[in-house]
Amino acid sequence: MTSTIGSAFLPYYELMHASAGRWILEQVKQWAGSSQGAIGVCAVPEGPLAPPREWAERFFNVQRWTVMPKGGQFASA
């Protein structure tokens, strides 16, 4: 056992206990500093919250945006 379940759940805890504006601001700051190339987005209806496409395009070079008909966090499984 690696005793890392707490840190694995931290993003979910922060999302549930922070205001939406604060969460979005922090994520945008993190994303904007880490991705300069083209990206593709695959949004799943039961997955983690994703920003609207218009927001993503403000900070990234979005080349593909796909909304899947079904799926969740582990969509590839």
Q: What is the pLDDT of residues 12-51, one digit of tens each?
A: 777 677 777 776 777 777 776 655 678 888 888 776 666 7
Q: Assess if residue 74 is contained within a domain.
A: no
pLDDT value, residue 41: 84
Domain that holds residue 30: 5-67
- C-alpha 53/C-alpha 45 separation (Å) is 14
Q: What is the rounded distance in angstroms from the CA atom of residue 40 to the CA atom of residue 44? A: 13
Assess if residue 30 is contained within a domain.
Answer: yes
Instruction: Count CB neighbours of 44 within 10 A.
Output: 18
Does residue 75 belong to any structural domain of this protein?
A: no
**Residue in 60, 23, 25, 16 with CA at minimum distance from that of residue 41:** 60
Radius of gyration of the chain (CA): 14
Mean local confidence (pLDDT), 52-68: 84
pLDDT for 60 equals 78
What is the domain count for the chain? 1
Beta carbons of 53 and 62 less than 8 angstroms apart: yes
Residue 55 maps to a domain: yes
